Amino acid sequence: MHEEAALRRRQGFSGPRWTGATLDARAPNGDLWVMPLPRSRLFLLAILLFALLLPPVQTHADESPPAVRIGVLAFLGDDASGQAWFPLLDHLQHRLPGYRFSLVQLNHDGLERAVTAGELEFVITNPGHYVELEARHGASLVLTLDRGDAPAAERALGSVVIAPRQRASLRELPDLRGQRLAVVGKEGFGGYQLVWRELLAAGLEPERDLAGLLTLGLPMDRVLAAVERGDADAGVLRACVLEQQPDWQTRFRVVGARSEPGFPCVTSTRLYPDWPFARLRGTPPALGRELALALLAMDRQRDGLAWAVPADYQSVHALFRELQIGPYKDLQPPTVMMLAERYWPWVAGFALLVVAWVLYTVHVERLVDTRTAALRAVIEERQQLAADMRASQERADHLARLSVLGELSGTLAHELNQPLATIANYAGSLIRRLDGHRLTDDAVREAAGEMATQAERAADILARIRGFSRKRRMPRAAVSPREMVDEAVALFRGMLGGAPRIDIASALPPGLAVEMDALQIQQVLLNLLKNGYDASRSLPAERQALALRLEQADDLLLITVRDHGSGMDDETRRQLFEPFFTTKPEGLGLGLAICRSIAEAHGGHLTAAPAADGFGSEFTLSLPLNASGRDAHA
């Protein structure tokens, strides 16, 4: 048989060729003639002449046979897998000489990458991996491996769980609870998934109930070594791999052994179909049929391998459905990791959006903080400026009040002299009566009463002056306009000896109260009364009288001070409220300007107009009665 195989592999030559023991020549129809070398030279010459007369076969050196790449899952390692599948490669090369076949031995992940990249035409792999390739890449079943020693092609593959021989406590699969289990990988069909199903049937969840899964990768010899070294308490092998180990009965024990009639190897799991030969999407169906016919011609006795018609792989689908893996992974209750793995582009996009939003938010927050700090600084600066302006206004008001007092201080002594002189006269009279022994109780009572009255008068004058001149900011409160006006008039009369007549007329409803700073409004009225007195004191007595009128117009309180002086021209009236404008030689020009600012600070106005009858001027202070606009200029 080996000589025949050697002769088959020489079919690339045309024309006669010496081999030492045989002579090869290709006939015109392409058949290879192989004949023993004769001893007779005459006969040899005749053969040579015959061969020379044959027409030469045209070869095309530039055309090579199409390549057919067959991917193989190397579960035993490259060397062992190559020896196992070499008869298949030799058989295909002989049966289909028009193709150039090659075996590509890969592990599970490498085989998956090669299929995804379109680098293979066919695959030979375990049943579980085939079901995954069928679902993901459209692989189609061609044939199923027939080992001949299994009961049927549908019941030819299982897994066995082994433990060191000395671990007598590990007999059944439930005994693996809390133990370390060595496997080639979670994607391994015979190396883990078959045992996984049996563990679940025995009530064990590997991820939960085992001490750990030691993933060692291919080849499976690593599992044997890990169990023998004690790195693992037990390990998973594909069925029939254990029997290839020398003296395995003395080195290992089988955990959870099952009885499977007709199956030649020990197993811990149910049996499943054998390895498939599958065509990948993109491979011509005609090529698949050619290979199927060629493989069906393999003989186990002659070639060491045999193939059968496709087996039923529904048991593999049932396994995957129960484990919820492979094509049935979506049956698992979705977890966060599963959803992240399934929708990772969306998750990544959402994560990028979140990161961008966070960065944008941080950027906006920094801008807001920066602008808020700048705005806060501006507000504080404005508040400080307003406070400075208020302080300046208060100082100006105080100076204005002092100015009014200064202008009225000339008559203050006269006003105080009257009560003091009266007190002195009554005191002297009491002394004289006492010396003359004419002092009676009635005289003492009369003198004491008059002295007390005059003292109260003097004290009242001083209290009003002291309160008016005090440097303080009065709070605003609801005040009766008539009472406030009466106090201002009394203060004016008390500070001015020979004060003119002041007529007060009020058209306000009883009980009316207006929110104001009474001291500031009195300051305005004193200024207006003093200006009216100055404008008319050189006139006859009947024109020195002043008039003060209180009335309500809509939502305004109107307080009008009228004099009977000579009046003002239009130019004077236009500049009247400007700071530092004055018609008095000794004046500063601040009184009316400060009065207007006080009125505006209360939300009101101060205006000047000629009197209606043509004599003198009228100054009108308007203040709001309601709350709106009260603090508009505060």
pLDDT digits (tens, 9 = 90+) for 490-538: 878 766 656 788 889 998 998 899 998 887 888 888 888 888 888 888 7
In this prediction, residue 224 carries a pLDDT of: 93
Query: Residue with structure tokens 């991996």?
Result: 129
In this prediction, residue 250 carries a pLDDT of: 93
Q: What average pLDDT score do residues 356-378 get?
A: 91
The helix (run of H) or strand (run of E) holding residue 161 is: strand 159-164
Q: What average pLDDT score do residues 69-75 get?
A: 88
CA distance 288 to 122: 9
Handedness of CA 336, 342, 346, 348 (dihedral sign): positive
Pairwise pLDDT comparison (115 vs 571), residue with the higher score:
115
Helices (H) and strands (E) in the chain, counts: 20, 21
Q: Which amino acid is at 410?
A: G
In this prediction, residue 495 carries a pLDDT of: 65
Pairwise pLDDT comparison (83 vs 456), residue with the higher score:
456
Q: Which two tokens stand for residue 402?
A: 């002092």
In this prediction, residue 446 carries a pLDDT of: 78
The helix (run of H) or strand (run of E) holding residue 211 is: none
Position 3 confidence tier, pLDDT thresholds 50, 70, 90: very low
Q: What average pLDDT score do residues 224-246 get?
A: 93
CA distance 470 to 463: 10
Residue from 145, 83, 105 nearest 275 by CA? 145
Q: Which two tokens stand for residue 498?
A: 């020979």
The helix (run of H) or strand (run of E) holding residue 32 is: strand 32-36
pLDDT digits (tens, 9 = 90+) for 410-448: 545 555 665 776 787 778 777 877 888 877 887 788 778
The helix (run of H) or strand (run of E) holding residue 527 is: helix 518-536
In this prediction, residue 159 carries a pLDDT of: 95
DSSP per-residue string spanning 360-382: HHHHHHHHHHHHHHHHHHHHHHH
Q: What average pLDDT score do residues 118-134 get?
A: 93
In this prediction, residue 601 carries a pLDDT of: 85
The answer, yes or no, to whether residue 479 has pLDDT greater than 50, is yes
Q: Using an 8 Å Cβ cutoff, are 564 and 615 in contact?
A: yes
The helix (run of H) or strand (run of E) holding residue 477 is: strand 477-479
The answer, yes or no, to whether residue 62 has pLDDT greater than 60, is no
The answer, yes or no, to whether residue 216 has pLDDT greater than 70, is yes
DSSP per-residue string spanning 58-83: P--TT-PPPEEEEEEE-TT-HHHHHH
In a 3-state reduction of DSSP, which class is residue 225? helix
The helix (run of H) or strand (run of E) holding residue 141 is: strand 140-145
Position 6 confidence tier, pLDDT thresholds 50, 70, 90: very low
What proportion of the chain, given as a percentage, has pLDDT over 70?
A: 77
Full 3-state SS string of 241-283: CHHHCCCHHHHEEEECCCCCCCCCCCCCCCCECCCEEEECCCC
In this prediction, residue 10 carries a pLDDT of: 36
Alpha helices for 436-517 (secondary structure H): 441-469, 481-495
Give strand pairing partners of 123: 71, 278
Position 489 confidence tier, pLDDT thresholds 50, 70, 90: confident
CA distance 142 to 285: 10
Give the CA diameter of the chain.
203
CA distance 199 to 236: 12
Ordered by where they begin, the domains of the chain are 2-53 (no CATH), 67-145+276-308 (3.40.190.10), 159-271 (3.40.190.10), 341-473 (no CATH), 475-634 (3.30.565.10)
pLDDT digits (tens, 9 = 90+) for 164-201: 999 999 999 999 999 999 999 988 899 999 999 999 99
pTM higher than 0.85:
no
Integer angstrom CA distances of residue 45 from 17, 21, 27, 34, 53: 14, 17, 18, 17, 12
DSSP per-residue string spanning 307-343: EESPPP-HHHHHHHHHHT-GGGGGGSPP-HHHHHHHT
Peptide bond into 327 cis (omega under 30): no
Pairwise pLDDT comparison (481 vs 537), residue with the higher score:
481
Position 149 confidence tier, pLDDT thresholds 50, 70, 90: confident
CA distance 177 to 167: 14
Position 468 confidence tier, pLDDT thresholds 50, 70, 90: low
Q: Using an 8 Å Cβ cutoff, are 160 and 239 in contact?
A: yes
Position 27 confidence tier, pLDDT thresholds 50, 70, 90: very low
Q: What average pLDDT score do residues 379-385 get?
A: 89
Pairwise pLDDT comparison (583 vs 274), residue with the higher score:
274
In this prediction, residue 443 carries a pLDDT of: 75
Give strand pairing partners of 548: 504, 561
CA distance 201 to 205: 9
The answer, yes or no, to whether residue 235 has pLDDT greater than 50, is yes
Lowest-pLDDT range of 50-54, 213-217, 427-431, 585-589: 50-54
Position 83 confidence tier, pLDDT thresholds 50, 70, 90: confident
Q: Which amino acid is at 87?
A: P
Query: Residue with structure tokens 């009260």?
Result: 630
Average pLDDT, the chain: 80
The answer, yes or no, to whether residue 61 has pLDDT greater than 50, is no
Position 396 confidence tier, pLDDT thresholds 50, 70, 90: low
pLDDT digits (tens, 9 = 90+) for 275-293: 999 999 999 999 999 999 9
